[in-house]
Amino acid sequence: MNEQLAFTIEVFANGLMAGVLYALVALGFVLIYKASGIFNYAQGVMALFAAMTLVGIQNGQVPFAHLINAIFGTDVHHFGWHVHSFLAIALTVVVMIALAWMVQKFVFKHLVGQEPIILFMATIGLAYFLEGVADLMWGSELKALNVCATETACLPQGMNVWLEGTTYEALGYGFFIDNLDIVASIVAAILVVGLVMFAQYTKQGRAMRAVADDHQAALSVGVSLNFIWVLVWSLAGFVALVAGIMWGAKSGVQFSLSLIALKALPVLMLGGFTSIPGAIVGGLIIGVGEKLFEFLIGAPYLGGATENWFAYMLALLFLVFRPQGLFGEKIIERV
């Protein structure tokens, strides 16, 4: 196989994989925006908070240990046990549901009917508050994240050797794909199918869609807005946990994890703020687009590091021609 063509295919495939990871973050934004019209600035911090909570529970870390020790003069840091990954994930989901309930109870319940910009500002406040709580609760140090089914069966890292060997034998060039990216793609696919099925075939899902379409009409037929918003924030919390696991497994869990939200913005601009398939397709287009541009033009002619701005430029181009994004609902306002 022609070497340049092989490289291009490899970059394309890895762009798809990166796109899936971007889409994972974007999904959380879409869920909340679709149901409540709130652009949740705190989604990246939610991923950080979820990942920190997971690692903290796994490692048996005492939450708020520094605060407890400072107030009571104790010296407690760990419970001395290690929690199995699956149980830790389940407990983290419970924490994220509790967080969703608190966010609704103490913040957004009081802001019903306010302008979208007020709601957006509230999420900015929430992001910084949550970051501070995460710091107090689990500490600022970097934590390694490893999700394991058994002692030896953990989230895989590194090159997929089988794929490399097979493609080398067949095409004369061994393609690189990261095992973790493959797992992330499978998880993202399951997540999207699960979310779509939940929205289509469950009573709560249908209520969620009703609220998304017209929350006043939904209220008039007895749908509880409070419940739906708690449900949606819980789902966004779960998506944040999945994104936190996948990104945290790559880099360790640390405060910069919240910056992954920056990768989701062009995906949302491109795919639309209200479409789950849009988030996936948008993620794939951004992932492939930025990687191919970097490979074909950025690195050879522009000195490299073009991915960040190219993703936004690509999204901007789509915005100009289709402001609602690829899959977003067209805004029609009657005068």
**Binding-site ranges for other proteins (CB under 8 A):** 7, 10-11, 14, 17-18, 21, 66, 77, 131-132, 135, 140-142, 144-146, 157-159, 176, 178, 247, 250-252, 254-260, 263, 290-291, 294-295, 298-299, 303-305, 307-308
Residue 165: CB minimum distance to other proteins, A = 13
Q: Which is nearer to other proteins, 152 or 220 (CB)?
A: 152
Q: Of 76 and 196, which has the nearer Cβ to other proteins?
A: 76
**Minimum distance from residue 150 beta carbon to other proteins (Å):** 17
CB of 140 to other proteins, least distance (A): 4
Closer to other proteins by CB, 204 or 254: give it.
254
Q: Which is nearer to other proteins, 88 or 155 (CB)?
A: 155
DSSP letters for 74-113: ----B-S----HHHHHHHHHHHHHHHHHHHHHHTGGGGTT
Q: Which residues pair with 143 in a beta bridge?
A: 253
Q: How far is the CB of 313 from other proteins (least distance, A)?
A: 14
Q: Supply the minimum distance, in Å, between the C-beta of residue 231 and other proteins.
A: 30
Q: Which phi and psi (to 5°) does residue 73 adopt?
A: 70, 20
Write down the least CB distance from residue 277 to other proteins, Å.
23
Nearer to other proteins by Cβ, of 164 and 329: the residue is 164
CB of 85 to other proteins, least distance (A): 15
Contact 20, 181 (CB under 8 A): yes
CB of 318 to other proteins, least distance (A): 21
